[in-house]
Structure 1
């Protein structure tokens, strides 16, 4: 029998979010209902509200979540009722050319639940990133659930569901940061901060945090940065070169995703260094740079989508490191809020007051 729960929706572009009654159908084949315990407030949710992803309103927002499996549909064997899980938006198919080549982290045919959650009048909802976790419960594909240590704090480990994994993975998985490397991170919000933490975890010895907000630079030091650069007061490329013996960094992560920051990242890397783009640009953005510079500098120019993660591989490992005190993921939780405070959390995000607000149920 279908059930009704509370959920935060965006009805139209730019309109304030609201709490509505959500109808969840019984899980079908390969589907799972998860009782949400915590969900982070991510910039992507704000992009949905502003119509920056698509115009498939109304949206059921929220996606950085952890909770407990409440019901399972026919054929589900990977999780069972009562399992503590982190939700992810990349349920790999196992059948596409990437999966068959042993590269499931690049799966080209990820999937979500087949059925739709609805408003009480029958209007179909579009769940953010196929999850929709600003709700007491949500319907997802079983492959979107990754079992982890049930003693972990849901408000902390749920952040691996998007921003923290994106940044940490950009450094560790995409950038292949290793012991002794020098790393520069442009943009020190949640994703950039996670890239800094990932670089530290991987053994980088010089980690340079770059931002225009002094508060974020201070936070970056607490996440593992060894140096900071105020982009409003100095030339970023020159500053990175000065801090790396005049050469540039081995890996530069652009967590902003703008033409100006990507160009800074390109020229702030060492010869044959790596640039990782994890900040999300908008469709109209363009680059205008001398092509000879791409040829003469060598190295790698990469984009990182979800930190090139494989949830079933990465989530349990990172949760274990957090539980051991070796990965201070709790530093990303700025405040814990109720479901009716999501709109205020968007405002705090805009002002740069938080790394993450987390809704607790």
Structure 2
């Protein structure tokens, strides 16, 4: 058992606090990781606001990289001293998705069996089964993916959630191919990562759509060939005009609202693909569409959960591309902060001032 500092959300809407966390020694299949960096993600804010569930108190943080400190019995995939990026999709290998060769859809992912606690014994719910706004955290060993140890932790840790979700939405879910046209609606962290993914896949035309010219400028830096400010022009019409009147082959909705999903539906070419990667709230519903349009336009309407990634396959490749200078993960790191700066980072995120604040430990 170890005592460390960590960021805890004690109640719905309450400011987070720095608490002493008790981290158990790893049991069978578990690992203790010394956290080096962890990004501040919208999902952490959703936890604090009670938007995920009400299993307070939460130990926040999940976009993390660090060093494996200790492992429990039966762990063979990682060892003490390994540099890892943490993930919240430790596949089981035995569910119906895994057995049919699609582990990225695993329906029985693993987390650590033991609980981290406060000093008084109160059990903590780790965000996405990770809880990495802490000096050390306890996870299932399958949540640790070994990557190039010379990579910058603040940058590659972001693959643990938002950046992977965006890149995967383009490459894995959207199956973007060389020469295709892609439109991305919403150019925050996830949307800009989707632009980067489309570029990596070899898309010929990448159209970034947002209300904010600053975000559109960032999308251009990451590979967008065209931009549309949707406060000034209709995005569906603009995307069609930029694709010879047809619409884009793949349209990625990185906002997750009925309005933007409907725009994505009509902004795609016949037999094109719509990918929803922005996370809607529980009260949102699919907008009413004429069923003949759904039938007549053909193609695919897909949702992308964590970019349909397989961490053991995707993380090392993307880290290597970063190390080669072909994927600018540093772009997503707007600022580096300490644990005491998480609450302020939530406020900056709420106002759209940052792509990612990253806690450095």
Fold-level similarity (TM above 0.5): yes
Q: Deviations over 1:219-254 (max 9, x none)?
A: 111111111111111111000000000000000000
| Inter-partner Cα distance in structure 2 for 1:111 and 1:256 | 28
Q: Distance in 2 between matches of 1:200 and 1:253?
A: 14
| Aligned counterpart, 2:357 | 357
For 2:25 and 2:155, the matched residues in 1 are separated by: 29
Question: 1:329 maps to which residue?
Answer: 329
Task: Give 2:57's aligned residue.
Answer: 58
CA distance in 2, matches of 1:92, 1:336: 31
Partner of 2:296: 296
2 CA distance for matches of 1:339 and 1:211? Answer: 31
3-state SS of paired residue (1:5): strand
Q: Distance in 1 between matches of 2:169 and 2:314?
A: 13
Aligned Cα root-mean-square deviation (Å): 0.5
Tell me the residue number matched to 2:222.
223
Give the Cα–Cα distance (whole angstroms) in 2 for the partners of residues 230 and 34 of structure 1.
43
Name the residue aligned to 1:33: 32
- Residues 249-275 of structure 1, C-alpha deviation per residue, up to 9 Å, x if partnerless? 000000000000000000000000000
Q: Which residue of 1 aligns with 2:189?
A: 190
Q: TM-score, normalised by structure 2?
A: 0.99
Which residue of structure 1 aligns with residue 78 of structure 2? Answer: 79
Listed one character per residue, the Cα deviations across residues 135-154 of structure 1 (whole Å, up to 9, x for unaligned) are 00000000000000000000
**Mapped partners of 1:23, 1:6: distance in 2:** 9
Which ranges of structure 2 fall in alignment gaps of 5 or more residues?
none
Query: What residue ranges of structure 1 are gaps of 5+ in the alignment?
Result: none
Greater Cα shift, 249-258 or 280-289: 280-289
- 1:103-122 map, 5 Å: 103-122=102-121
Partner SS, residue 66 of structure 2: strand
What are the Cα deviations for residues 57-113 of structure 1, in whole angstroms up to 9, with x where unaligned?
000000000000011111111100000000000000000011111111111100100
Structure 2 counterpart SS, 1:98: helix
* Superposition deviation, residue 31 in structure 1: 0.4
The number of equivalent residue pairs is 360
TM-score of the aligned structures, taking structure 1 as reference length: 0.99
1:7 maps to: 6
Q: Which runs of 4+ in 1 moved over 6 A?
A: none
Deviations 1:9-49 (Å, cap 9, x if unpaired)? 00000000110000011111000000000000000000000
